[in-house]
Amino acid sequence: MFKRTHTCGELRKEHIGESVSLNGWVNTVRLHGQVIFIDLRDRYGKTQIVFNSEDYDGDFDTIKKLSMEDVLSIKGKVQSRGENAVNPDMPTGEIEVIVEAMELLSETAPLPFVITNRDSALEDLRLKYRYLELRTDELQHNIITRHKTYQAVRSYLSDQDFVEIETPILMKSTPEGARDFLVPSRLHNGKFYALPQSPQIYKQILMLSGFDRYFQIVKCFRDEDFRADRQPEFTQIDIEMSFVDEEDIFTNMEGMTRHVFKEVIGEDLPDPFPRLTYAEAMSKYGSDKPDMRFELFLQDVKEFTDKSDFNAFKSAECVKAIIVSDGAKYSRKIIDELTEFVKTYKAKGLAWMKTENGQLTGGISKFFDDSLQKEIIKSSGMNDGDIIFLIGDERSIVEPALGALRVEIARREGLTDPNMYKPVWVTSFPMFKFDEKEKRFMAMHHPFTAPRVEDIDKLESDPAAVLSRGYDLTLNGHEIAGGSIRIHSPDIQKKAFSLLGLSLDEAEEKFGFLVEALTYGAPPHGGIAFGFDRLVMLLTGSNNIRDVIAFPKTTSALSLMDGSPDTVSKEQLDELGILFKKKK
């Protein structure tokens, strides 16, 4: 192998006349009789190298047999391509290297798919041969963007006096929502560690330990059922601060997010970020992670449907609508598709009317007299050629269903600009949500989220009305971060556990060390966790979280490349005291 003097993305006009050595993969081969052109590739770029039978001293027949993805080491001289041969699409497009000597370092086996075209294979095949897919320009760009994001986060937080502290990967199993991944202990037979769903308890302990500004870019683990774009192991930027309120969190995290977007992709985000309460977000956008890039809002139309003869909505708690400009073009087939779409969000159906010549037509329009139609058109701002979609039901069904329809219509109509970034804070979440199946309250964020000061008394009298000090940072319809001001009072923490159905004994068993720690002088504290993978996905413009993780799992939590999860030997199970029993 020749020791490389330059990378394949480095050579320019100023290097003309120099003798150089390059190492890389064959990206393309073009045969022109006794002249062979090859684009040699490494992670820095591509350089055209030229084999001329008149100048090349080696075996020219070997060169003719080279294949894409063979690994070469070459020596040669840089020359100008000439004005008519310049490739403006390549940074190295003004030069080429005339090869004087070549070593074939590695010959490739037949490729399972075309490296230069990811679409040439289904995702499962690409994941099986992930090391090949990682050679593609797109994934190389994504992984390098991920690296830049790591560095931008670390530099910003370090400059702001945050201390990076590692927390344990093997910890106690605690009921925080999703199932834990369990790790059996060989030394303590019959006992288990859990992999952390997040370092939540540890970072609160660190605040009690006097480290007032902590961060960590950390792996987290959740044993969840199959879900698209969810990974059993994922990365988050974990942050906690002492002696702060919400405004301190917002100021610091907006600063970090602006820094990351500017450093990584040169994008300027607004200062400050806008804010919505949870109630406002659900009412106007039908989502607690609203996409603010387009104006398509939910409107309350119950006062109009109550006056109509459309009885199906009369008993509904809530009736809301969205109006699609130029939507009168929608065929019955499209409307039926949208109806089936909202049914997946528990809506019973989708009512509609179109505006033509100042009147409502089609759908349920016959149930609205002329004066009521004029009221709706005027109040909603409809124009000729628009369509109005209506859903009536419980508010908890109407708003999410219409919110999902809003996003689906934006997708169909191309209303979202991929180069626009619209962050927004969502605040004032309910502290609890009631689970009808479990017949008990569940934490909207997690059990350590503090209630609003003015709502503390309601913990006893009306828990469902308590609003929390939780907050989410959303961007373009994605939640990129979530956090809260934490409970630092042992009494309030015990009360929260009680409302979540944990007895005093259970709370002591699961969280006793935290509850005890709170009794030894706990500072007010709060924090946030950014979904790092999702953040990088937005920075790269990808729509698949697996495209920004070097070695991801499938949606069914399989690693197709290494074949995990896999069986283990009986000897290993015996050593751990585990008897394998098949699920029925």
Percentage of the chain lying above the pLDDT 90 cut: 81
Q: What is the pLDDT of residue 175?
A: 61
Q: What is the pLDDT of residue 522?
A: 93
Transcribe 281-347 into DSSP letters. Answer: HHHHHSSSS--TTS----EE-HHHHHHSS-GGGTT-SEEEEEEETTGGG--HHHHHHHHHHHHTTT-
CA distance 384 to 360: 9
Strand-strand pairing, 95-106 and 45-52: parallel
Transcribe 351-374 into DSSP letters. Answer: EEEEEETTEEESTTGGGS-HHHHH
Transcribe 144-163 into DSSP letters. Answer: HHHHHHHHHHHHHHHHTT-E
CA distance 308 to 303: 9
Q: What is the DSSP letter of 556?
A: T
Q: What is the pLDDT of residue 177?
A: 62
What's 159-210 look like in SS3? HCCCEECCCCCCECCCCCCCECCEEECCCCCCCEEECCCCCHHHHHHHHHCC
Angle at 553 between CA 552 and CA 559, to 5 degrees: 105
Residue pLDDT, tens place only, 194-203: 999 999 999 9
Q: What is the DSSP letter of 64?
A: H
Q: What is the pLDDT of residue 228?
A: 65
b/e for 67-82, b at 16 or more Cβ within 10 A?
Answer: ebbbbbbbbbbbeebe
Q: What is the pLDDT of residue 57?
A: 80
Give every residue of the chain whose pLDDT is below 70, as ranges: 175-177, 226, 228
- List Cβ neighbours of 129 (8 Å cut-off, separation of 6 or more): 112, 113, 561
Which residue carries 């993305």 as its tokens?
9
Q: What is the pLDDT of residue 251?
A: 97
Q: What is the pLDDT of residue 426?
A: 98
